[in-house]
Chains A and B, each alone.
Chain A
Amino acid sequence: MNMTRDRLHAIGWGMTLTVCLALLVALTMRVNAVKSEVHLADRQIATLQQEKMFLETEFETRSSQQQLRAFNDVDFGYEAPTAGQYLESERQLAALGKPAGPDAPAPVRMASADDGAGQGAGDAQPVRALVALAAEKDAQPHKLADRHPSRPARHSEAVEE
C-alpha cells in the first residue's frame, strides 16, 4: 500500500514536471512565434519608413522652388499681390471704395523715429515728434493726417546717447 502511494506520488510529480516542461516548450514556441512576428513588423516598418522617405523626397524634389517657379512661369502666371490688395484692419475694409471727402489730405501716416530699434542697447529715444502717430494703428487715416504736425522733426532735436 505504502509503495503504491509512493509510486503514485512519484508518478504525480513526474507528470507535473512533464506538464510544466510541455507548457514551457509551448510558451517558448509561442514567444518565438511572437518574436518572429515582431521582426516581420520591424522589417515592414523599416520598409514603410524608407518608402515614406522616398515619397517625401520625391515630393520635395517635385515641389522645389525651381519646379514651382517653372510651373508658375508656364502654366499659372501668378504674381505677388500688390499693395492695393492688402487691407490691414476692419477700418480699412470699411473704408474700402469710399470716396475721399472734400479737401481730405492724403491718408499717409508718417514715422521718422526709431520705434524700438536699439532700445535694448540703452539708447535714448531720438526724434520723438512723430512716433505717436505710427502707434495709433486703428485711428482713421484722414484724421491721423489732420493731426500730422506741419513742422517736421529736425535732426538737431534728436537726443544722442
Chain B
Amino acid sequence: MTGIAGPQISAVISSVRSDSVVHRQRALAMARFRLLWVLIGFAALAFIALARLTQLGFAAGDRGNGAAGMAVDRGDIVDRNGVPLARAFPAYSLWFNPNALHGGPALVKSPREVAEALVRIFPDENVDDLTRRLAAGKPGYLKRRILPEDANRIHALGEPALEFPRENERYYPQGSMAAHVLGYVDSDGHGQVGMEKVFDHQLTDPVTRGNPLVLSIDARVQGVLEDELAKGLARAQAKSAGGIIMDVETGEVLALASLPSFNPNLIDRQGSEHAFNLVVSQPYELGSVIKPITVATAIEAGVITSMARRYPAGKPLSIAGFEIHDDENFGDSLNIPEALIHSSNIVLAQVGDQLGATRLRTAMEKLGFAERPYIELPARGLPRFPHADHGEWSRVTTMTASFGHGFAITPLHLACAYAALVNGGIWHPATLQKLAPGQAPAGRRVFSAATSARMRQLLRVIVEVGTGRSANAPGFRVGGKTGTAERSDRFGYHRDQVVATFASAFPMDHPRYVVIAMLDTPQANAATSYQRTAAWNSAPIVGRVVPRVGPLLGIMPDQTRDIDISDLKPLIANGDGE
C-alpha cells in the first residue's frame, strides 16, 4: 500500500508544483502586462500634459499680440516732436436699421418726431430730409462720425432703430491745421491730396503701418504761421494766402500753410475746392523778391564788384519797345544797396543786362526754377519759365527776369532759393519728412559762401532801413525782401490785382530759417493803411510770426547781436551815410 501510495503522492505533489509554477509564471506575465499598460497610460498622460503645456506656452505667446486688440488699418502721422496729426480712430456713426424691432414698426415715435429730436442734437441737419429718410424705411447712414456724447443723447431717445456702430475712421485732432500737408482719406480708405496720398502704401502696409510717419512739420510753428497768415488775410481782405517756414541747412519744411484751408475731418464741396495747395502748386510772378537772386548772381559772376557803384535810375529804361520804370523816382542814380532798398526795376534791369542771359538763366536753373519743386507732395506746380529764343533768352526777357517778371514760380521755389541765398550758397531740395542729423542731402552749390555773406548783409539792410521795416522783429535779426507783382494769367496782367510776397530769413548773423509770406490780391483798406504792397501786408505777417516761432525753434531774441552792415550803411542815402 505504502509502496504504491508513495510514488502517487510524489506525482501529485510534483503535478501541483508544476501547476503552481505555471500559474505563477502566468500571473507574473499578467502582472508585467498590466504594469506595461499602466506605464503606457502614465506615459500617455505625461505626453498629453507636456503637449498641453507646450500648447499653452505658444498660446500665451499669441495672446500677447492679441491683447493689443484694436487692429489699426492705417498708420498714424505725427509731427517732428511726435504730436499726432492724423490717427486711426474708432468713431461712432449713426446708422438707421429699420429691422431692429424684427418685423415691428421701424420707429417707436413718428419719423417727424425722431427727425426733430435728431436736429436738436445735430442743428446742421435738415428736419424734412431726415423725416423723408426715416419714413422711407431703408437701412443706411444718417450721419458719419458723431461724438460720443451725441451717441449718448441718441441712445437716450429710446429708438432701437438708431444704431451707432463704431468704425475705424481717420481723425485729424488738429482740425484744419496743416490740411494741405496731410491731405485726407476718402470713403474708400485711400489717401488724397497730401502726405496721405503720397505715403498711402506705407501707411496701409501691415509691415510698416505700425510705425508712425514722422513729418518735418512742427505743429506749434504751423499753428502760428496759419494764425498770423489768417489774420493778415483778413486784414488785407485778400483772396488767398500762403506761407512757408523752412530750415535753411536741411530743406526740412517746418510749416507750410495755404489759405483758405479745409477740414480733412469733413470733406464737403467747399473743402475739396480749397484742397488746392497754393504754395506748392500755383506758380506766381513774384516780382521784386527775385532781385536779391539777380544781385547774388551778378556778385558771383564778378559783374558787381563794388557796392558803391552807381547805376542811372532817373528815367525809365526803353528796350525793344518795352519801358521799364520804377514806382517813383528815387534819384538820378542808385547803388546796389539803394536799388534793393527802394526795389528799383531800372537798376536791376541794367544789372541783368550786364550779367547776360546765359548766366542769369543758368543760376535760376540751378535754383530749380525751370522744373517742378522738389517736395514729397503731389500736384507740384510746373513753373512758367521763359523759353530760349535761338538758344538763349532775348535781351528783354533777361532784363525783365532780373527784377522778377516774365516767369512764374511757386512760393516753395522761392523758399528753397532764399535758403541757398543765405545758408552759404547751397541749394537743398525741400522735404516734409523729418531728417536725422547728417541725413540731409548734400545739395548743390549755387553761390559762393562769400556771396552768401554779402547777401545776408543786403537782406538785413532792406529790413533795417528799406521796404521790409515792418518785419524787423526786435532781437531776431530778420533779413528779407518785399515783392509786389501784378497778377497775371492767360488774359495778361491785371493792374488792379497784385501778389504781395515777403521772403526772409532769420537770424541773419547765422541764418537758420527761411520765412515766406504771400498774399494773393490784397485790398487797399483802412487796416492796411490803404496800401496793397508787400511792405504793408506781407512783411508785417513775418514781423509777427518770427517773435512767436523763434524761441520755439531755439532762437532767442538778442538785441546785443547783429550782422555787421556798417560797410553798407554809408552807401545808403537815407541811412547814416551820405
A joins B in a complex: yes
Interface residues of A (CB under 8 A from B): 2, 6, 9-10, 13, 17, 20-21, 24, 28, 31, 38, 42, 45-46, 49-50, 53-54, 57, 60-61, 64-66, 68-69, 80-84, 86, 88, 92, 107-118, 121, 123-127, 130, 134, 141, 152-156, 158-161
18 contacts between A and B (CB under 8 A): A6-B31, A17-B38, A20-B45, A46-B70, A49-B70, A53-B70, A54-B148, A57-B87, A65-B222, A84-B474, A109-B561, A111-B561, A115-B510, A117-B424, A117-B449, A118-B423, A124-B449, A153-B564
Known contacts A10-B34, A117-B510: does B173 contact A60 (CB below 8 Å)? yes
Query: Chain B residues near A123 (CB, 8 Å)?
Result: 424, 448-449
Q: Is B564 a contact of A141 with CB atoms below 8 Å?
A: no
In the bound complex, CA of A108 to CA of B561 (Å):
5
Specify the chain B residue showing the minimal Cβ separation from A17. Answer: B41
Closest Cβ of chain A to B369, distance in Å, is 21
Binding site for A on B (CB under 8 A): 24, 27, 31, 34, 38, 41-42, 45, 49, 52, 56, 63, 66-70, 83-84, 87, 89-90, 148, 171, 173-177, 219-220, 222-224, 226-227, 248-249, 299, 305, 307, 423-426, 442-443, 445, 448-450, 452-454, 456-457, 474-476, 509-511, 547-548, 551, 556-567
Q: With A117-B424, A126-B453 given, is the CB distance from A66 to B557 under 8 Å?
A: no
Q: Say yes or no: A130 contacts B564, CB within 8 Å.
A: yes
B452 to chain A: which residues have CB within 8 Å?
A: 114, 117-118
Which of B70, B174, B248 is most buried by chain A, counting CB atoms within 10 A of its CB? B174
Complex interface: chain A residues within 8 A of B442 (CB): 121
A-B contacts counted at CB < 8 A amount to 185
5 A-B pairs closest in CB distance: A83-B475, A118-B424, A65-B223, A158-B450, A46-B69
Knowing A13-B34, A17-B38, A118-B426 are in contact, say whether A112-B560 is a contact too (CB < 8 A). Answer: no
The reply to whether B27 and A64 contact each other, CB–CB distance below 8 Å, is no
**Contact A88 B558, beta carbon cutoff 8 Å:** yes
Chain A residues near B511: list those with CB within 8 A: 117
Given contacts A80-B551, A88-B556, A118-B423, contact A160 B450 (CB under 8 A): yes
Tell whether, in the assembled complex, residue B31 and residue A153 are in contact, meaning their CB atoms are under 8 Å apart.
no
Q: Write out the residue numbers on chain B whose beta carbons fall within 8 Å of the beta carbon of A86.
A: 475, 551, 556-558
Q: How far is the CA of A140 from the CA of B222 in the complex (A)?
A: 37
Say whether A154 contacts B567, CB under 8 Å: yes
Given contacts A118-B424, A127-B450, A160-B448, contact A2 B27 (CB under 8 A): yes
**In the complex, A53 Cα to B562 Cα: how many Å?**
47
Q: Which of B68, B226, B564 contacts A110 (CB 8 A)?
A: B564
Chain A's nearest CB lies how many Å from the CB of B364? 21
**A114 contacts B449, C-beta separation under 8 Å:** yes
User: Judging by beta carbons under 8 Å apart, are B558 and A83 in contact?
Assistant: yes
Residues B89 and A121 in contact, CB atoms below 8 Å apart? no
Bound together, the chains give a CA A84 to CA B560 distance in angstroms of 10
Whether A117 pairs with B249 at a CB distance below 8 angstroms is: yes
Residue of B226, B510, B551 near A111 (CB, 8 A) is B510
The complex places the Cα of A70 from the Cα of B249 at a distance, in Å, of 34
Known: A64-B175, A65-B220. Is A111-B563 also a contact (CB below 8 A)?
A: yes
The minimal Cβ–Cβ distance linking B239 to chain A, given in whole angstroms, is 22
Shortest beta-carbon distance from B287 to chain A in Å: 26
Chain B residues with CB below 8 A from A153, complex form? 564, 567
Is A134 in contact with B27, judged by CB distance below 8 angstroms? no
A96 to chain B, nearest CB (A): 12
With known contacts A42-B66, A46-B70, A118–B425 Cβ distance under 8 A: yes
B175 and A66 form a contact (CB under 8 A): yes
Complex Cα distance A38/B63, Å? 9
- Nearest to B60 among chain A residues (CB) is A38
Q: Give complex CA distance A143, B90 in Å.
A: 64
Chain B residue, CB-CB nearest to A116: B510
A50 vs B72: C-alpha distance when bound (angstroms): 12
Instruction: Take A54-B148, A57-B171, A112-B456 as given contacts and tell me if A83 and B49 are in contact as well, using a CB distance cutoff of 8 Å.
Output: no
Residues on A with C-beta less than 8 A from B551 are: 80-81, 86
A70 to chain B, nearest CB (A): 10
A37–B565 Cα gap in the complex (Å)? 75
Nearest Cβ distance between residue A161 and chain B, in whole angstroms? 6
Q: A61-B173, A153-B567 are in contact. Are A80 and B547 (CB under 8 A)?
A: yes
Do the beta carbons of B174 and A64 come within 8 Å of each other? yes
**Cβ of A152: which chain B residues have Cβ within 8 Å of it?**
564, 566-567
Residue of B nearest to A46 (CB): B69
Partner of A49, one of B38, B69, B563: B69
Using CB atoms, name the residue of chain B closest to A81.
B551
**Given A17-B38, A80-B547: A141 in contact with B449 (beta carbons within 8 A):** no
Residue in A114, A130, A156 whose beta carbon sits within 8 Å of that of B424 in the complex:
A114
In whole Å, how far is A82's beta carbon from the nearest beta carbon of chain B?
7
- In the complex, what residue of chain B is closest to A92 when comparing beta carbons? B560
**Pairwise interchain contact B448-A161, C-beta atoms closer than 8 A:** yes
Nearest CB on A from B189, distance (A): 19
Whole-angstrom CA separation of A102 from B65 in the bound complex: 74
Q: Which residues of A contact B171 (CB under 8 A)?
A: 57
Nearest B-chain residue to A113, judged by Cβ: B453
Compute how far the CA of A160 lies from the CA of B454 in the bound complex, rounded to whole angstroms.
12
CA distance A65 to B442 in the complex (A): 34
Max chain A C-beta neighbours (<10 A), residue from B67, B425, B449, B453 = B449
Residues of B with C-beta under 8 A to A68: 223
A14→B424 CA distance, assembly (Å): 93
Q: Closest approach, in angstroms, between the C-beta of B561 and any C-beta of chain A?
A: 5
* A112: contacting residue among B42, B56, B223, B457, CB under 8 A: B457
